[in-house]
Structure 1
Amino acid sequence: MAEDYAAKMSRKTQAELLLYVQNYTEYREEAVLAALDELEARGLEPAAAHTELRATLRTSQQETDRREAQARQEQAEQELARRQLRGEEPVAAEAPTGPALYSPGTITIFSVLFSMVAGGIMLALNLRTLRRTGPALLVLLFIVVYLIGGVFLVYWLRQQNTQLESWIGSLFNLPAILVYNLYFWPRYIGGQPYRSREWLGPLLICGLVILGFYFWLRQMMPAVPV
């Protein structure tokens, strides 16, 4: 509770009040200001006589209040840290910072569930968010080259009359996922702090694309005679 300096000064003698004014650097600013108010109220000192001193005291009081508030805040933070170490207070999780990006886990899951194309596009969108246009275009080029290479590989295997293409389809996305996570992400994103980007929208888009492709295939397939 703040001390009532006005009431305290009302009980002082004139000599005691003047002592506060003359040695103002040894007392709290509030006490000296209250002593000045009391002297003026008694008609012992004119208000104009201490205008400069009052301005100095008010400036000093503001600085004192700032230091004391900072000290109280630091003390409260130290006490909170001690309570957290003792398990008396939960440790608040730091809010993630940085741009919103699709995480490597999200990219991997989309590549497995849908296609390496979906994961690659998400990675390219990350790079675009970071304004790294060159690497984003490089990811898209990798997707195109990878798809073309995969088609030629399957065609070549069929020409060799092997059954390898039957299991290549199940592992087709794996090399691309490794390239995304072990090359593109460390090289062009690295330890960049980021917030996890919402993935429900891409999930709905991928689902609609697959559904549309399924109905397109049904329309293209010739009717089977009964």
Structure 2
Amino acid sequence: MAEDYAAKMSRKTDAELRDYVTNRYQYREEAVLAALAELAQRGTPEPTAAGLIAELEVSKQETDRRELAVREQEAEKEQARRVARGEAEPEVAPQTGPALYSPGTITVFSVLFSMVAGGILLALNLRALRRTGPALLVVAFLLLYTVGTHYALTWLQHAYGTQYIWLGPVFNIVAIVLYNVVFWPRFIGSQPYRSRPWGGALLICGLLTMAYLILASRFGVPTV
């Protein structure tokens, strides 16, 4: 049960209350705040009370966060001990946060279809998080990287034939690495999220790939 600091301070002398204020770093923030309130109620307020209250409120929030983290840590340890003793079943943490395509899904789509598919999924994640700037940055990267890769492979093919055709998958792998080690950590990070279903995206990518292959075979659209 939380201590009733207001009642405690009402029994203190003015000198004792001012000791709480003067040596405030030795006491809990709630106690010092209660001392300041009691002094004001007695008509002898601390001259710098307003600044002290603001400082103590900020400090109290930090203390509360630290104590909450310690309590949660202790609760997790106790639960782990109970599970080890067979007194409780392991808890499965519920998925929380926005629905996003996972890094694994982005990687698989980039391998199955192309880095464009993976990049689009990543941009959709950023759109779901309302991070418009990073989403546009990913789209710009997709456009520039795709155009640059196309012209690089076309030039290599014209200059050296099919000698460097294997660089196509390498460019794709480089993009996948950038998604996982640069874009995701920088723009999404380690925040919790729910895994977004990918069946619809798979169907759309599959249909677009089939349409592209049909156009390529019928009208000679380049596939590099």
When normalised by structure 2's length, the TM-score is 0.59
Measured at CA, do residues 155 and 215 of structure 1 come closer, stay the same or move farther in structure 2, by a change above 3 Å?
A: closer
Measure, in 1, the Cα distance between the counterparts of 2:180 and 2:128. 18
Consecutive unaligned residues in structure 1, runs of 5 or more? 1-78, 222-226
Measured at CA, do residues 80 and 105 of structure 1 come closer, stay the same or move farther in structure 2, by a change above 3 Å?
A: closer
Measure, in 2, the Cα distance between the counterparts of 1:153 and 1:164. 13
- Structure 1 counterpart of 2:118: 119
The answer as to whether partners of 2:96 and 2:192 remain within 8 angstroms in 1 is yes
- Give the CA deviation at 1:80: 7.8
What secondary structure is seen at the aligned counterpart in 1 of 2:94? coil
- Structure 2 counterpart of 1:184: 183
What secondary structure is seen at the aligned counterpart in 2 of 1:95? coil
- Structure 2 counterpart of 1:196: 195
- Structure 2 counterpart of 1:90: 89
Measure, in 1, the Cα distance between the counterparts of 2:95 and 2:201. 22
- Give the CA deviation at 1:85: 2.7
Aligned letter for 1:147? Answer: T
Measured at CA, do residues 82 and 170 of structure 1 come closer, stay the same or move farther in structure 2, by a change above 3 Å?
A: closer
Measure, in 2, the Cα distance between the counterparts of 1:136 and 1:106. 18
Measure, in 1, the Cα distance between the counterparts of 2:200 and 2:122. 15
- Structure 1 counterpart of 2:70: none
Aligned letter for 1:151? Answer: H
Aligned letter for 2:101? Answer: Y
Measure, in 1, the Cα distance between the counterparts of 2:125 and 2:194. 11
What secondary structure is seen at the aligned counterpart in 2 of 1:160? helix
Measure, in 2, the Cα distance between the counterparts of 1:81 and 1:182. 32
Measured at CA, do residues 214 and 159 of structure 1 come closer, stay the same or move farther in structure 2, by a change above 3 Å?
A: closer
When normalised by structure 1's length, the TM-score is 0.58
The answer as to whether partners of 2:153 and 2:165 remain within 8 angstroms in 1 is no
Measured at CA, do residues 189 and 173 of structure 1 come closer, stay the same or move farther in structure 2, by a change above 3 Å?
A: same
Aligned letter for 2:139? Answer: L
* Worse-matched range after superposition: 168-177 or 195-204: 168-177
- Give the CA deviation at 1:213: 1.9
- Structure 2 counterpart of 1:136: 135
Measure, in 2, the Cα distance between the counterparts of 1:219 and 1:183. 39
- Structure 2 counterpart of 1:147: 146
What is the CA deviation profile of residues 8-66 of structure 1, one whole-angstrom value per residue up to 9, with x for unaligned ones?
Answer: xxxxxxxxxxxxxxxxxxxxxxxxxxxxxxxxxxxxxxxxxxxxxxxxxxxxxxxxxxx
- Structure 2 counterpart of 1:211: 210
Equivalent pairs, count: 145
Over the aligned positions, Cα root-mean-square deviation in angstroms equals: 2.3
What is the CA deviation profile of residues 184-218 of structure 1, one whole-angstrom value per residue up to 9, with x for unaligned ones?
Answer: 11111111111111111101111111122223334
Measure, in 2, the Cα distance between the counterparts of 1:217 and 1:160. 23
Measure, in 2, the Cα distance between the counterparts of 1:85 and 1:120. 43
- Structure 2 counterpart of 1:100: 99
Q: Which has the larger radius of gyration?
A: 1
Measured at CA, do residues 166 and 218 of structure 1 come closer, stay the same or move farther in structure 2, by a change above 3 Å?
A: closer
